[in-house]
Structure 1
Amino acid sequence: MLKVGLTGGIGAGKSAVSARLAERGAVIIDADRLAREVVAAGTEGQAEVVAAFGAEVLGADGELDRPALGARVFGDEEARRRLEKIIHPRVRARTAELTDAAPSDAIVVNDVPLLVETGLAASYHLVLVVTADEETRVRRLAETRGMPAEQARSRIAAQATAAQRAAAADVLIPNDGRLADLDALVGALWRDRLVPFEENLRHRRAAPQDSRLVIAEPDPSWPAQADRLIARIRRAVGADAQVSHIGSTAVPGLPAKDIVDLMLAVPTLDRADQAADALAAAGFPRRQGEWFDNARNVPGATWPKRLHGSADPARPVNLHVRVIGSPGWRFALLMRDHLRADKAARDDYAAAKERWRAEHADAGAYAEAKEPWFDREATAAEAWAQSTGWHPGP
Structure 2
Amino acid sequence: MLSVGLTGGIGAGKSTVAHRLVEHGAVLVDADAIAREVVQPGRPALAEIVAVFGEQVLADDGTLDRAALAERAFADEESRVRLNGIVHPRVGERTAELVGGAPQDAIVVHDVPLLVENGLAPLYHLVIVVDAPEDVRVDRLVEARGMTAEDARARIAAQADERSRREAADVWLDNSGAPDGVLAEVDALWADRLVPFEANLRLRRPQGSRSPSVVEPDPTWRAQAARAIARIEQAAGETALRVDHIGSTSVPGLPAKDVLDIQLTVADLTEADRIADALAEAGFPRMAGQWSDDPLDPGQVGPRGDKRLHTGADPARRINLHVREQGTPHWRAALLFPVWLSEHPAERDAYAELKRKLAHSHRADGTAERYAENKQPWIAEAMARAEEWARATGWSP
Match of 1:376 in 2: 381
TM-aligned CA deviation for residue 254 of structure 1: 1.1
Match of 2:325 among 285, 305, 323: 323
TM-aligned CA deviation for residue 47 of structure 1: 2.4
Mapping of residues 338-349 of structure 1, within 5 Å: 338-349=340-351
| CA spacing shift, 1:194–1:229, aligned 2, 3 Å | same
Q: Matches of 1:41 and 1:368 in 2, distance apart?
A: 68
Mapping of residues 193-232 of structure 1, within 5 Å: 193-209=193-209, 211-232=210-231
Q: Matches of 1:129 and 1:338 in 2, distance apart?
A: 36
Q: Matches of 2:75 and 2:348 in 1, distance apart?
A: 50
TM-aligned CA deviation for residue 67 of structure 1: 3.2
Contact 1:59 1:65 in 2 (8 A): yes
Deviations along 1:321-372, whole A, 9 cap, x unmatched?
1111111101000102111222222222122223223333133332222111
Q: Matches of 1:186 and 1:75 in 2, distance apart?
A: 41
Q: Matches of 2:119 and 2:46 in 1, distance apart?
A: 25
Q: Which amino acid in 2 is paired with 1:123?
A: L
Q: Which amino acid in 2 is paired with 1:55?
A: E
The size of the alignment, in residue pairs, is 386
Taking only the aligned residue pairs, the percentage that are identical comes to 58
Q: Matches of 2:231 and 2:225 in 1, distance apart?
A: 10
| CA spacing shift, 1:94–1:47, aligned 2, 3 Å | same
Match of 2:394 among 366, 389, 393: 389
Q: Which amino acid in 2 is paired with 1:322?
A: R
Contact 2:212 2:359 in 1 (8 A): yes
Normalised by the length of structure 1, the TM-score is 0.92
TM-aligned CA deviation for residue 75 of structure 1: 8.6
Match of 2:69 in 1: 69
Contact 1:125 1:282 in 2 (8 A): yes
Contact 2:295 2:375 in 1 (8 A): no
Mapping of residues 110-121 of structure 1, within 5 Å: 110-121=110-121
Q: Matches of 1:125 and 1:335 in 2, distance apart?
A: 30
| CA spacing shift, 1:75–1:246, aligned 2, 3 Å | farther
Contact 1:294 1:303 in 2 (8 A): no
Uncovered stretches (5+) of structure 1, i.e. residues with no partner: 297-301
Q: Which amino acid in 2 is paired with 1:277?
A: D
Match of 2:301 in 1: none
Q: Matches of 2:150 and 2:200 in 1, distance apart?
A: 47
Normalised by the length of structure 2, the TM-score is 0.92
Is it true that 1:172 corresponds to 2:172 in the alignment? yes
Match of 1:299 in 2: none
Match of 1:140 in 2: 140
Residues 135-144 or 42-51, more deviating:
42-51
Q: Matches of 1:8 and 1:74 in 2, distance apart?
A: 24
TM-aligned CA deviation for residue 142 of structure 1: 1.2
Q: Matches of 1:254 and 1:179 in 2, distance apart?
A: 39
TM-aligned CA deviation for residue 86 of structure 1: 2.4
Match of 1:233 in 2: 232
Match of 2:244 in 1: 244
Contact 2:295 2:379 in 1 (8 A): no
Q: Matches of 2:257 and 2:95 in 1, distance apart?
A: 38
| CA spacing shift, 1:163–1:240, aligned 2, 3 Å | farther
TM-aligned CA deviation for residue 147 of structure 1: 0.9
Uncovered stretches (5+) of structure 2, i.e. residues with no partner: 298-303
Residues 258-267 or 47-56, more deviating:
47-56
Q: Matches of 2:330 and 2:121 in 1, distance apart?
A: 31
| CA spacing shift, 1:158–1:51, aligned 2, 3 Å | farther
| CA spacing shift, 1:351–1:79, aligned 2, 3 Å | farther
Deviations along 1:59-118, whole A, 9 cap, x unmatched?
111111123334556696655444333222211111111111110000011011111111
Q: Matches of 1:86 and 1:156 in 2, distance apart?
A: 27
CA-based RMSD of the aligned residues comes to 2.1
Is it true that 1:26 corresponds to 2:31 in the alignment? no
Q: The residue matched to 1:188 in structure 2 has which SS?
A: helix
Contact 2:130 2:172 in 1 (8 A): yes
Contact 1:303 1:326 in 2 (8 A): no
Contact 1:294 1:328 in 2 (8 A): no
Match of 1:258 in 2: 258
Match of 1:356 among 355, 358, 365: 358
| CA spacing shift, 1:77–1:254, aligned 2, 3 Å | farther
| CA spacing shift, 1:75–1:151, aligned 2, 3 Å | farther
Q: The residue matched to 1:238 in structure 2 has which SS?
A: helix
Match of 2:300 in 1: none
